[in-house]
Amino acid sequence: MKNAKEILVAALVLAVGSAHGQEDAAAQVGLMVEKGIESLEWGLLLEAEGAYSKTGDTSASDIVLATVEFVADAAVNDWLSGHVGLLWEEDSTENNILDEGFITMGGGEAFAVFAQAGRFYLPVGNFETAFISDPLTLELAEINQSSVMVGYDSAWISLAAGVFKGNDEEAVENVYAAADFFISERVRCGVYFLSDLMETGSQSGLGITEKNAGAGAFANLYLGAFMVNAEFVSALEDDGLAGTPMAWNFEGSMNFAGAWAAGLKVEGSDDLYSADGRYHEYGFGGVVSYGFQEHAAIGLEYMRLLGDSGEDDADLVTLQLAFEL
């Protein structure tokens, strides 16, 4: 009895052969499809979270399915591949789950130069973290847009640059560039530039139409079971709302006793707003997690958030159960 892969390949080959009446063309397409299916790699991530917060005398709690993410990659040959990413987040992306979809030509072990087209997260920011909550640098600079990008990868450097059209623009007017340096197995650092920081996920909802470029830098240090991350990103001018948005994050984490991990961090921001309001000016806290099974882990995080006045100070505790394939 044929498996699902064999049946799918046979159906596609038959369809192409019937449409064109050329057995050779059908066979070639069939081989490409079969290779694409055989190279298919996929992943699934589920995250359920319970949270408790207290701001002044006001407390709140919630339980959410924070993340349902599915990704798939397939390559039809050494220089052509495709990627699809679906993301569902409760109260966030429920109405549009297509997170990424792009085609890559080149790259990998066979080609140092590559080109990529589609919708993807632009290489603006590193955002590496051991915490459940996102760092403030991600809140400011993460951007997911339809774009065309070219780049170069080697063992010690990765370069990328591209263009995209802003949310309320009539033409392709925005550019970005990034450089990552793999100094050694223990040290990675990088810099990046975005011609309009007001197009990122948090800033695009502020209604600011004037362009405001942004830039950032990061460094990751790997010392066996220990890791240190530092990142800084800022707009280059006043955003026309309340100042020059800026964010930074510094954290250290370690793995111990096999399946355990723990981390500490401190972060800060200035003039950082989103459509939901102002982000905290300082935050510090810790996280601990335990991988109780190869594909599952549970984590507990505490963060102390400090605003521009004592009334804005908050305590946040998050418990997360994660499942990943």
Could you tell me how many residues make up the chain?
A: 325
pLDDT tens for 260-287 read 999 999 999 999 999 888 999 999 999 9
Over residues 48-102, the pLDDT tens digits come to: 999 999 998 899 999 999 999 999 999 988 899 999 999 999 988 878 899 999 9
Sequence spans of domains, the chain: 1-38, 39-324
pLDDT digits (tens, 9 = 90+) for 15-54: 444 444 556 655 665 665 666 577 799 999 999 999 999 9
Report d(CA 276, CA 289) in Å as an integer.
29
CATH architecture label of 39-324: Beta Barrel (2.40)
Q: What is the pTM of this model?
A: 0.88
